[in-house]
């Protein structure tokens, strides 16, 4: 009967051999690919050689079956393996993950060994990211690190995902969403009609359309006439314009199923689109509804810059294209519409995103004031209750 094999990840007895310069300690270890390998360390004394070998066995490289990820591999190698395995993500998300790797994670952690990714190391790194780059960037870094550590744990190079044990990231209190009022919307629309530069950039109609729909700027830039039903007064949101690094401007499907939706337009917005359609080739449904000033699809980033200039000229420096999404959600909330309806309008899968981020509730109109109004005559006038109220304070037996 043959000798039973070593268990995965374990080592045999340590044997020491005398050399010309000291001692050589040697042991056989069975790696996680099933192969048995010899590990040696040297020292001036037998104890030093054995100690060095024990440390090496503790931190032994756990070669995966594919040979790609090991406990002694650099974090940079883990990052490359994790990023290469990402699928079914939007180009914008892939670009954002790549930026977080290149700008924050790899400069701070890239040269560490995978086995050195402890809870304390990751916590210190993320707190530095919060301090230097902000909470939103740190949260995305945490998401990326969690994916990397999950992959490392899958290959047994980490015992568990240390990111899951981290405490919550925090910074200064987040400001409440700021939405425009109806008078402000009317004022801004009117101001843009007197701005020659905004008119030359075809911004008044675009801004009016954002106000009427709450679309993302990329969704508005990627809207084609084939997705507009003027007779029914609806639009079908199915694509978005995105600039992808290395590819240029791309018209792609919406990021999620919730983003693909059909919206009903206000009558004044339908009238505006009819006037625009009169200057467009009817048979060419693939043309953009809001083309770039020089023709073709609008670049969302360039359009954002144009909008900033126009809003600053109109005295609305704090307004961005995203403010119109918050405004639409807030007006729907004030009108008594459900958060589900607002989420469907904005293309959110979860209503929590809509209520927490997009509702500009500066005054909580809960209805409690009307209910509590009945206490007005009784809170300070005891006679309204039929005279002073006597309270028995005699201790009970």
Higher pLDDT, 118 or 283: 118
DSSP string of 46-69? Answer: HHHHHHHHHHHHHT-----TTS--
pLDDT number for residue 26: 94
Q: Which range among 57-71, 293-307, 347-361 shows the weakest confidence by mean pLDDT?
A: 57-71
Q: In what order do the strands lie in the sheet with 261-264?
A: 228-229, 234-237, 261-264
3 state DSSP class of 89: coil
Give the pLDDT of residue 142. Answer: 95
Rounded CA-CA distance 85/81 in Å is 6
What is the pLDDT at residue 82?
Answer: 93
Is pLDDT above 80 for 132? yes
pLDDT (mean) for 182-211: 93
Sequence-ordered list of residues with C-beta below 8 angstroms from that of 232, at least 6 positions apart, any chain? none
- From 17-31, 166-180, 327-341, the region with the lowest mean pLDDT: 166-180
Determine the pLDDT at residue 378.
45
Task: State yes or no: pLDDT of 94 exceeds 90.
Answer: no
The tens digit of pLDDT for each residue in 331-373 reads 888 888 888 888 888 887 777 666 665 555 444 444 555 554 5
- The domain made up of 75-165 has a fold known as DNA polymerase; domain 1 (1.10.150)
Which residues share a beta bridge with 27? 39
Q: Residue range 266-294: average pLDDT?
A: 83
**What is the reported pLDDT for 383?**
44
Higher pLDDT, 74 or 376: 74
Encoded tokens for 68: 């790609």
**CA triple 265-267-268, angle to 5 deg:** 105
Out of 107-121, 161-175, 215-229, 262-276, pick the least confident: 161-175
Instruction: Quote the crossing angle between the two packed helices 267-277 and 203-213, to the nearest 10°.
Output: 140
Q: Does the fold of domain 182-334 match that of domain 75-165?
A: no
> Does residue 269 have a pLDDT over 80?
yes
The two structure tokens encoding residue 242: 């995105």
126: part of which helix (H) or strand (E)?
A: helix 119-133
* Amino acid 176: pLDDT: 61
What is the DSSP secondary structure assignment for residue 377, as one 8-state letter?
A: T
CA distance 19 to 26: 13
182-334, what's its fold? hpI Integrase; Chain A (1.10.443)
Cα 209 to Cα 13: distance, rounded to the nearest angstrom:
76
Confidence of residue 68 (pLDDT cuts 50, 70, 90): low
Please give the pLDDT value at position 92. Answer: 79
CB 43 within 8 A of CB 51: yes
Distance CA 286, CA 9 (A): 60
Is the pLDDT score of 69 beyond 80?
A: no
Cα separation, 349 vs 81, in Å, equals 30
Please give the average per-residue pLDDT across 228-233, as a whole number. Answer: 91
**How do the domains of the chain map onto residue ranges?**
19-58, 75-165, 182-334
Q: Is the pLDDT of residue 396 over 50?
A: no
- DSSP state string for 127-179: HHHHHHH-HHHHHHHHHHHHHHHHHHHHTTSSSS-GGGGPPPP--SPPPPP--
Task: For residue 14, give every residue at least 6 positions away whose Cβ sits within 8 Å of its Cβ, in sequence order, or none.
Answer: 25, 26, 27, 50, 53, 54
Q: What is the mean pLDDT of residues 371-397?
A: 47
pLDDT-based confidence at residue 186 (cuts at 50, 70, 90): very high
Tell me the pLDDT of the chain averaged across its residues. Answer: 82
For the entire predicted model, the pTM comes to 0.62
């Amino acid at each position: 009967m043959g000798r039973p094999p070593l268990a995965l990840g374990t080592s045999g007895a340590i044997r020491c051999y005398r050399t010309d310069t000291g001692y050589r300690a040697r042991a056989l270890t069975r790696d996680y690919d099933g192969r048995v390998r010899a590990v040696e360390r040297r020292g001036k004394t037998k104890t030093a050689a054995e100690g060095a070998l024990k440390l090496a066995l503790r931190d032994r490289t756990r070669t995966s079956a594919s040979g790609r990820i090991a406990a002694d591999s650099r974090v940079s190698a883990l990052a490359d393996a994790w990023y290469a395995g990402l699928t079914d993500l939007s180009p914008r998300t892939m670009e954002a993950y790549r930026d977080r790797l290149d700008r924050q994670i790899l400069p701070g952690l890239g040269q560490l060994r995978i086995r050195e990714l402890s809870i304390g190391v990751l916590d210190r790194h993320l707190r530095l990211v919060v301090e230097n780059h902000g909470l939103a960037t740190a949260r995305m870094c945490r998401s990326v690190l969690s994916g990397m550590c999950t992959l490392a744990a899958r290959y047994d190079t980490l015992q568990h995902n240390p990111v899951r044990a981290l405490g919550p990231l925090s910074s200064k209190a987040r400001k409440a969403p700021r939405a425009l009022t109806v008078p402000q919307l009317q004022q801004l629309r009117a101001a843009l009609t007197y701005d020659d530069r905004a008119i030359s950039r075809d911004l008044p109609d675009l801004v009016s359309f954002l106000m009427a729909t709450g679309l993302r700027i990329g969704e508005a830039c990627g809207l084609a006439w084939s997705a507009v039903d003027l007779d029914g007064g609806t639009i079908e949101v199915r694509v978005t314009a995105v600039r992808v690094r290395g590819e240029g401007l791309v018209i792609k499907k919406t990021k999620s199923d919730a983003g693909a939706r059909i919206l009903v337009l206000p009558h004044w917005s339908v009238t505006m689109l009819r006037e625009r359609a009169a200057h467009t080739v009817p048979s060419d449904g693939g043309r953009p509804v809001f083309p770039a000033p020089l023709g073709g699809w609008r670049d969302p980033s360039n359009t954002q810059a144009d909008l900033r200039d126009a809003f600053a000229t109109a005295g609305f420096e704090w307004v961005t294209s995203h403010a119109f999404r918050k405004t639409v959600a807030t007006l729907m909330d004030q009108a008594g519409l459900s958060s589900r309806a607002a989420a469907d309008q904005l293309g959110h899968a979860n209503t929590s995103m809509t209520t927490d981020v997009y509702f500009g509730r500066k005054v909580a109109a809960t209805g409690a004031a009307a209910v509590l109004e009945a206490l007005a005559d009784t809170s300070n006038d005891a006679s309204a209750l039929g005279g002073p109220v006597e309270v028995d304070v005699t201790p009970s037996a």
